[in-house]
Amino acid sequence: MEIKVLKNILNANDQRAQENRGLFERNRMVALNVTASPGAGKTSLIMATIKALRDEFRIGVIEGDVSSAIDAETIGTVGIPVVQINTNGACHLDATMISNAVQSLPIDELDLLIVENVGNLICPASFALGEHKNILVASVPEGHDKPYKYPLMFSKSDAVVLNKIDLAPYVDFDRDQFIEAVNGLHADARIFELSCKTGEGLSEWNSWIASEIRKERTA
Amino acid sequence: MHELAITEDMLSLVLSEARKHDAQKVNRVQLRIGEMTGIVGDSVRFYFEQISKDTIAEGAILSFDFVPAAARCRDCGHQFDIADFVWSCPKCHSLNIDIVAGNELYLESLEVT
């Protein structure tokens, strides 16, 4: 006997992600899923965002890594509520890990939840967490070819942050090719070119996040 | 890379659908996988063999229906397959395109007894 199913294989994860999203919306907060390859500057961007927005908004962070609590300790130094998830080998966070982690955060007091996904440009693209926005951090030394090599990840990103622009004079990075590929993969994606090291370009990024939070509050 | 997690979710979906129909045995599983997902069929097969042991899906044949990545141009309306991962419209060269196929990750059907 043949059974017609036609169901998304990741149905269970997608449903849990919807529940997470519902929780975030009831609390009128914005959740970001920050992805990147290892070393692109996810934690640096998160630290810079906290520094710029913490006076106006209440921020919480979920850190995802295969192992260690290094990132959570870094975030913890600035006195922001943070939960570390160790995936013990898994290459991505999933919606269930997030729904468990938010129980350790004062979620009803937050305006912004930043989730730092496992450093990886492949797997996190398939697993929705319940986020409002997918943020992909790329960096100049990685090269301009990354959107061509990891198209799914870029196609699902609402904003692409190009970090370490201060290193552009020292490496062969073709900015036009990079921008062209990002636009082609997601015509509506925002692109922010900045340096977490020098602070250049950060204010545009921070204003965008602030405006997304205000939009959600008044929704 | 994440085929194990995908295969685990796929197996639990297969088993729950089979149970709904009081199946004794799952003989064949038909999957629809988009090119954009990067899922490798052989890897799914390998994990499926391992984790379906001692379930009614043990020994089931996995068939894949691979869907090529395709896009539609917002400017001229042309729909095209994305050959060699070039992300612009072959007709008007616009980058204003929407990906319309290639993200599929579906359990299509089961053959059970």
Model pTM score: 0.90
Q: What is the mean pLDDT of chain A?
A: 95
Whether residues A187 and B97 touch (CB distance < 8 A) is answered with: yes
Which tokens go with A161?
Answer: 């942050």
Question: What confidence score (pLDDT) does residue A89 get?
Answer: 82
> 3-class SS at A96?
helix
CB contact under 8 A, A1 and B111: yes
CB contact set of A182 (below 8 Å; sequence gap of 6+):
A147, A154, A160, A189, A191
Of A5, A10, A120, the CB nearest to B109: A5
Query: Which of B8, B33, B36, B72 is the best substitution to test chain A (most A C-beta atoms within 10 A)?
Result: B36
Distance CA(A86)–CA(A94), nearest Å, equals 12
Residues in chain A with CB shorter than 8 Å from the CB of B110 are 2-3, 5
Which residues of B have a CB under 8 Å from any CB of A? 1-2, 5-6, 9-10, 12-13, 17-18, 21, 23, 31, 36-38, 69, 74, 85, 87-88, 95-99, 103, 105-113
Nearest CA in chain A to B19: A3
> Helix, strand, coil: what percent of chain A each, to 5?
45, 20, 35
Per-residue model confidence as pLDDT tens digits over A56-115: 999 999 999 999 999 999 999 999 999 999 998 888 999 999 999 999 999 999 999 999
Which residue segments constitute the domains of chain B, with CATH numbers given?
2-112 (3.30.2320.80)
A11-21 pLDDT, tens digit each? 889 999 999 99
Tens digit of each residue's pLDDT (9 = 90 or more) over A113-139: 999 999 999 989 999 999 999 999 999
- Using CA atoms, how far apart are residues A141 and B44, in angstroms rounded to an integer? 33
Check: CB of residue A135 under 8 Å from CB of residue A30: no
Q: CB-based burial of residue A41 (10 Å sphere; 0-12 exposed, 13-18 middle, 19+ buried)?
A: buried
ipTM for the assembly = 0.84
* CB within 8 Å: B18 and A3: yes
What would the DSSP string read from start to end of A179-219?
HHHHHHH-TT-EEEE--TTT-TTHHHHHHHHHHHHHHHHT-
Residue B26 corresponds to which tokens in the numbers above?
């799952």
Low-confidence ranges of chain B (pLDDT < 70): 1, 85
Chain A residues within an 8 Å CB radius of B103: 152
Chain A environment of B106 (Cβ under 8 Å): 6-9
Per-residue pLDDT at A146 = 94
SS3 percent helix, strand, coil of chain B, rounded to 5, is: 30, 30, 35
Q: Where residue A22 falls among pLDDT bands split at 50, 70, 90?
A: very high
Backbone phi, psi, residue A175, to 5°? -60, -45
The secondary structure of residue A128, as a DSSP letter, is -
CB atoms closer than 10 angstroms to residue B73 = 21
